[in-house]
Amino acid sequence: MRGIVHIGEGVADITNDLEIREPKPHEVVVRVVNAGVCHSDLSVLDGTITFPTPCVMGHEGAGVVEEIGSAVTSVEIGDHVVISTVANCGRCPACAAGHPTHCGDSIGKFRAGYKYKGETAYSFATASCFAERTIVEAIQAVKISKDVPLSSACLIGCGVITGMGSVLNRAKVQAGETAAVFGVGGVGLNAIQALRLAGAKRIIAVDTVAGKADLAEKFGATDFVDATQVESTAQAIKDLLPKAGSMFSPGGVDWAFECTGVPAVLIDALGCLHWGGNAVAVGVPKPTATLEVPIMGNFIYIDKGLMGCRYGSARPHHDFPMIAELYTQGKVLLDELVSVIQPMAEFNDVVAKMHTGTIARAVLAI
């Protein structure tokens, strides 16, 4: 079977030498049809995200249920599913409270679903979407309407839910609030469109690639800051907004979403906030990255804050079908996220394109 395996030190082997095991009672085998390439896949290759090797890559996919374990009742063979990376237990207090991404079972599992050249291979993010078939827990196979083309639906499985969920689930942005989004990629564009849906009155997109301005506008941005053309993006954002009165209160946005993974950008995200504003750390830097900012002026007296957000604080079985329905109503853009569709054999070309920062999302035909 074909797939893309990270064999270590940044080498992605596009191989025909993969075997998948039989599903256990609570598992589902999905024939992956399309998979988006998320920046986190590049981060696995460059060591920003560490994961044991060999691992079958990819974590943003959609396909057709091909086989179900003996205890599975949630999906049937032939269903169209988006693969969730959250293999939560469904029973613990966090799951019961509607926070599956807080479930202890939802991260850090190293499922050994494959043999690569005869050796045990792990599933990246318990998803392995860069393979003709993947094995997931039944809870990870989220049924969606067949009205959504799988080449667009696959993006719901990471970029879309991560960006939209950071706004709707984590920040819970209110109509009339203002926001900045740093990084107009697959994640940032979805933060922008969720801000549009939430009724944010100013949505200021920031990127180092000037060509991203049109794309940002299409998804709902009201303003664009080219980070290469200004001395301080935080100040450039404040300059776009009405002044807020005294010299101590220079104005700024209510929300800032950091969607690049560049640590210095998180400092800008804090710097562009108005009193009472909050920054949401979505991008993933290297595990050793630290944040050093003055406490005075960033947090105390002015009610500013900083929050992390994993996977859009998703409730996949609620959020994925909702996003699919909003797509069919024309309220959520998915097709417009797909810049190119290329075969798995062209993965290295896709990686090179992503490094230019010019595309929204590249999708692989698996």
Ligand X SMILES: NC(=O)c1ccc[n+]([C@@H]2O[C@H](COP(=O)([O-])OP(=O)(O)OC[C@H]3O[C@@H](n4cnc5c(N)ncnc54)[C@H](O)[C@@H]3O)[C@@H](O)[C@H]2O)c1
Residues engaged in binding ligand X (CB under 6 A):
38-40, 43, 158-159, 162, 182-188, 206-209, 212, 227, 259-262, 265, 282-284, 309-311, 354, 357
Q: Which is nearer to Zn ion, 89 or 267 (CB)?
A: 89
Residue 95 binding: pick among ligand X, Zn ion, none (C-beta 5-8 Å cut-off by kind):
Zn ion
Q: For the CB of residue 311, give the shortest distance to ligand X in the complex, in Å.
A: 4
Q: Which is nearer to ligand X, 68 or 338 (CB)?
A: 338
Q: According to CB under 5 A, which residues from 102 to 131 bind Zn ion?
A: 103
Contact, 125 vs 27, CB < 8 A?
no
Q: For the CB of residue 186, give the shortest distance to ligand X in the complex, in Å.
A: 4
Q: Which is nearer to ligand X, 68 or 337 (CB)?
A: 337
Residue 322 binding: pick among ligand X, Zn ion, none (C-beta 5-8 Å cut-off by kind):
none
Strands 305-308 and 223-226: unpaired
Q: For the CB of residue 90, give the shortest distance to Zn ion in the complex, in Å.
A: 6
- Interatomic CA distance for residues 195 and 189, integer angstroms: 10
The region of 91-99, 168-176, 225-233, 290-298 touching Zn ion under the rule CB under 5 A is 91-99
Contact, 68 vs 76, CB < 8 A?
yes
- Name the phi and psi angles at 153, rounded to 5: -60, -35
Q: According to CB under 5 A, which residues from 51 to 90 bind Zn ion?
A: 88-89
Exposed e or buried b for every residue in 149-158, given b needs 16+ CB within 10 A?
bbbbbbbbbb
Residue 206 binding: pick among ligand X, Zn ion, none (C-beta 5-8 Å cut-off by kind):
ligand X
Q: According to CB under 5 A, which residues from 157 to 196 bind Zn ion?
A: 158
Q: Which is nearer to ligand X, 49 or 56 (CB)?
A: 49
- Interatomic CA distance for residues 35 and 24, integer angstroms: 24
Q: According to CB under 5 A, which residues from 327 to 366 bind Zn ion?
A: none
Q: For the CB of residue 112, give the shortest distance to ligand X in the complex, in Å.
A: 23
- Interatomic CA distance for residues 333 and 221, integer angstroms: 13
Q: For the CB of residue 181, give the shortest distance to ligand X in the complex, in Å.
A: 9
- Interatomic CA distance for residues 269 and 188, integer angstroms: 13
Q: According to CB under 5 A, which residues from 19 to 58 bind Zn ion?
A: 38, 40
Residue 311 binding: pick among ligand X, Zn ion, none (C-beta 5-8 Å cut-off by kind):
ligand X
CB atoms within 10 A of CB 361: 29
Taking Cα atoms as reference points, which of 266, 352, 305, 255 lies closest to residue 37? 352
SS (H, E, C) 101-135: HHCHHHCCCCCCCEEECCEEEEEHHHCCCCECEEE
Q: Is 260 in the site for Zn ion (CB under 5 A)?
A: no
Of all residues in this chain, which one has the CB nearest to ligand X in the complex?
185
Q: For the CB of residue 44, give the shortest distance to Zn ion in the complex, in Å.
A: 10
- Interatomic CA distance for residues 285 and 8, integer angstroms: 19
Sheet strands (E) in the chain: 3-8, 11-15, 18-20, 27-37, 55-56, 61-68, 80-83, 114-116, 119-123, 133-137, 141-143, 178-182, 202-207, 223-226, 253-258, 273-281, 305-308, 338-343, 361-365
Residue 89 binding: pick among Zn ion, ligand X, none (C-beta 5-8 Å cut-off by kind):
Zn ion
Q: Which is nearer to ligand X, 159 or 277 (CB)?
A: 159
The region of 127-135, 150-158, 265-273, 281-289 touching Zn ion under the rule CB under 5 A is 150-158
User: Binder to Zn ion among 32, 44, 82, 95 (CB under 5 A)?
Assistant: 95
Q: Which is nearer to ligand X, 5 or 158 (CB)?
A: 158
Q: Which is nearer to ligand X, 30 or 192 (CB)?
A: 192
Element (H, E) at 256: strand 253-258
CB atoms within 10 A of CB 223: 17
* Total site size for Zn ion, rule CB under 5 A: 8
DSSP H helices, 4-58, are: 39-45
- Name the phi and psi angles at 266, rounded to 5: -65, -30
Residue 340 binding: pick among Zn ion, ligand X, none (C-beta 5-8 Å cut-off by kind):
none
Binding region for Zn ion (CB under 5 A): 38, 40, 88-89, 92, 95, 103, 158
